[in-house]
Structure 1
């Protein structure tokens, strides 16, 4: 009886402290993405050293070989503001790692200089090294660099897959309130790249913009000649079709038909969500959103993170029907 009483007096108080703490930690909204056991460097402990990425540095005009996880840090730092929520930065790390693992697994490098595997520009993924980041971040370098490292380490080794294969993890800055179906921008149906609502993007400074140009420039860039009456009545263009994401699918300008993508590219617009008005013989084009609109919206990801969503939830919202897996199953070291 005395032993039993001693057990209750010593063990029970400890259990009353430890168990609630464990429950809170388990259900915390800030819990990391589930990843394999890691070393202090963030690499997967059960595998050989991480692969390396041959990055062509455009300004230096040379190829540098960079450990994969270090490369991901440079991409996240270049592609997303370090001030964003940590779970948004983690989602960006997952997308960036998925992109490069998919590219390395496919082994198709015809679009880069010989000996390289990826460019450091937005043609693939933007990448910045430490010296470049120090020049940009200045006195904030240490704080921002640690934040990026934390996001990458918190997702180390994980990529986004669909039916066991790395996805085409496209992302962009800001939507017009909806992401876009892949087939309505690239004419290629991709099951996980489907339109979803993204109301958080209204917080983005790039949510709306106005571009002005002369009618002469407008006609020259599109290769059209506008009728004087159509100009005077404001009927020089007409939207024929809208996409699922409420962007311009097809539009008639003068006597020609264009896709929204064609108009965006020819005029250098922020997005395919646009409207046009004439003022004093000058054209004003109002756009909503910034980027192609397919895949993960970065400002949408940040908005979701502010509401307490984890990186995995963000990823599975913007990429439909996907899973998270260890990339070593796909790309052995």
Structure 2
């Protein structure tokens, strides 16, 4: 083939040759999701509920105070580090989806009711190390921050968001339900078995608070569990003439009193509702006692997270 002398002609011929050579090549595969480039650590506005002050603080410094408040600071560093990843994820999701705590014109709050637990006075070297080793790490599912749920003790088996929290707002396919972590082998006695008695008047008031309806007089024949969840939790309860979800009743009665809905007894005795069960918390997402167990076995913070969550990425968002 004779090539033309001018540059334009040469380029045209070369273009034809390239087209012929590569026209039969298959199209390039679509690139998988790639996390955003590592950026700069954010500084957030923290509302101090105790004083009403708004304080500008680097987010990693803030996460130290959250981890110190949420988990025993003497626990293994890798368990604390897994907690740090969850705390950082929760913070970023709340800021992105809700604007933090707009009622205080802040990104975060020191109130556990408004945002998440925070106690800077408990920060120690363990916490500092745990936060530093996971610096910038967050959990995402298909590029979006997950609901970074955790509980103190899942009773040995985790729950779905629907079962443990009666959460139906959005699908949460990244939650591993039904995983068994062996946490009951190392947790404290009060998580292995607990019993509490609630005066029937308190139960009646709690149901009215949840449903807006008075359930009427309560007795042993009209108070019972009517639906068990896949993991064995009390998902739905009949209280008098009213049906209420287990998670909703637990919150109304006090989640520090009715420690979980992993129940083995739910009955009226005299003027009290007697409730017995195991575990502490809703059981969705990471179990803190399970995290401690895995950390003691040498598991990394990321491995601990992946045990409780599926199909997720752990992305480093800043250096």
Tell me whether the two structures share a fold, i.e. TM-score over 0.5: yes
Are residues 1:264 and 2:253 paired? no
1:214 aligns with 2:199: yes
Instruction: Give 1:293's aligned residue.
Output: 283
Tell me the distance in 1 between the aligned counterparts of 2:102 and 2:153: 28
Among 240, 248, 254, which residue is 2:226 paired with? Answer: 240
User: How far off is 1:192 after superposition?
Assistant: 0.7
How far, CA to CA, are the matches of 1:66 and 1:322 in structure 2?
Answer: 28
In structure 2, list runs of 5 or more residues that go unmatched.
1-37, 208-213
Between the aligned partners of 2:293 and 2:129, the Cα distance in structure 1 is: 19
How many residues are treated as equivalent by the alignment? 265
Structure 1 residue 183, shift from structure 2 partner: 2.6
Match of 1:71 among 51, 55, 62: 62
Q: Confirm or deny that 1:203 pairs with 2:189.
A: no
2:131 equivalent among 140, 147, 152: 152
Q: Which runs of 4+ in 1 moved over 6 A?
A: none
CA distance 1:106–1:277, shift in 2 (3 Å): closer
- CA–CA distance in structure 1, aligned partners of residues 242 and 39 of structure 2: 57
Unaligned residue ranges in structure 1 (runs of 5+)? 1-45, 134-143
Q: Provide the rounded CA distance (Å) in 2 between the counterparts of 1:175 and 1:71.
A: 27
User: Offset at 1:73?
Assistant: 0.9
Deviation at 1:281, TM superposition (A): 3.6
Q: TM-score, normalised by structure 1?
A: 0.73
**How far is the alpha carbon of 1:75 from its aligned partner?**
0.8
1:166 lines up with 2:157 in the alignment: no
Residue of structure 2 aligned with 1:104, choices 84, 90, 95? 95
What secondary structure sits across from 1:315 in the alignment?
A: helix
Given the two structures, how large is their TM-score scaled by the length of structure 2? 0.76
Distance 1:183 1:283, change over 3 A: closer
Out of 286, 298, 313, which is 1:308 matched to? 298
The one of 107, 113, 122 aligned to 1:117:
107
> Whose Rg is larger?
2
Deviation at 1:155, TM superposition (A): 0.9
CA RMSD of the aligned region, Å? 2.2
The verdict on how the C-alpha distance between 1:282 and 1:119 changes in structure 2, with shifts beyond 3 A counting, is same
Contact 1:101 1:327 in 2 (8 A): no
